[in-house]
Copies of this chain bind each other. A is one copy, B any other.
Amino acid sequence: MNKTDLLSEGKTKKIYNTKNNFEVIIHYKDNITSFNGKKNELISYKGVLNNEINSCIFKFLNSCGIKTHFIKKINKREQLCHKLKMIPIEFVVRNFICGSLSKRLKIKEGTKITNQITEIFYKNDKLKDPFINDNHAVFLGISSYNELNIIYKIINNINNYLNKYFYKKNIILADFKVEFGKNYKNEIFLSDEISPDTCRLWDKITMKKLDKDPFRKNMINKKEILNIYTEVLERLNKE
């Protein structure tokens, strides 16, 4: 499982081919980004923490029977994963009102959503990742109705599993973003990452934000964000 060539590089990760055609190595960089990459900074060691956190969460989801890209963590910054063709859609799953939705619907942040809101966004930098619906996705040729229905079912399961998982760690999963890809057999796998970069996590008692949000809003500095990510990791590692 040695790296061969660089397959692609995103804002926070590099993906390398391996000698096995069906596997890639994902390397976590130290970048932290927000506002679609407009804010992009380096925080030394953040990639190490994110690799570790993601490994915990994906290992857990694998154990629940969710098909994920994660095979194993191979070193501090890298994971071995199934090679997938990504579906260019961000699936945002909301259990509580926050962020952009709070502004759009003028509803107070922290309002509980009882029917789980799932939103889809077309991953396209030129269009600034617009909010779309299933009809748009099919028209754009980026997914099919059948594929979307399968993914929505997987997402419901993921949300149920993760809610319980985080709750045991005294964390409320307010919302999160997931992405999916397909392997050579066209099977759908959860891919990308699930971490404080892509979730809103709140302490169950104090409601302290345990995610990227306070950094995005310039409310805390680099050292504080590292402390938060470290705290999340410690909670996940505690039995």
Contact = CB atoms under 8 A, between A and B. Distances in A.
Contacts of A106: 126-127
- A119, A133, A138 — which one has the most chain B CB atoms within 10 A of its CB? A133
Interface in A113-144: 113-119, 122, 126-127, 130-131, 133, 135-136, 138-140
A217 interface: no
Given A105-B127, A127-B106, A140-B105, A133 B135 contact: no
Q: Please give the count of copies of this chain that the complex contains.
A: 2
Contact of A104 (B104, B119, B130, B135): B130
Contact of A105 (B116, B130, B138): B130
Contacts of A126: 106
Interface in A81-134: 104-106, 113-119, 122, 126-127, 130-131, 133
A218 to B, nearest CB: 27
Contacts of A116: 135
Contact of A131 (B117, B118, B131, B140): B131
A113 B139 contact: yes
Contacts of A115: 135, 138-139
A136 B113 CA distance: 10
A115 B113 CA distance: 31
Chain A: interface size category: 20 to 34
A133 B133 contact: yes
B105 A119 contact: no
Contacts of A136: 105, 117
A122 B106 CA distance: 12
- A114, A115, A127, A140 — which one has the most chain B CB atoms within 10 A of its CB? A115
Given A106-B126, A117-B135, A118-B135, 16 more contacts: A104-B127, A104-B130, A105-B122, A105-B130, A105-B140, A106-B127, A113-B139, A114-B139, A115-B135, A115-B139, A117-B133, A117-B136, A119-B133, A119-B135, A131-B131, A133-B133
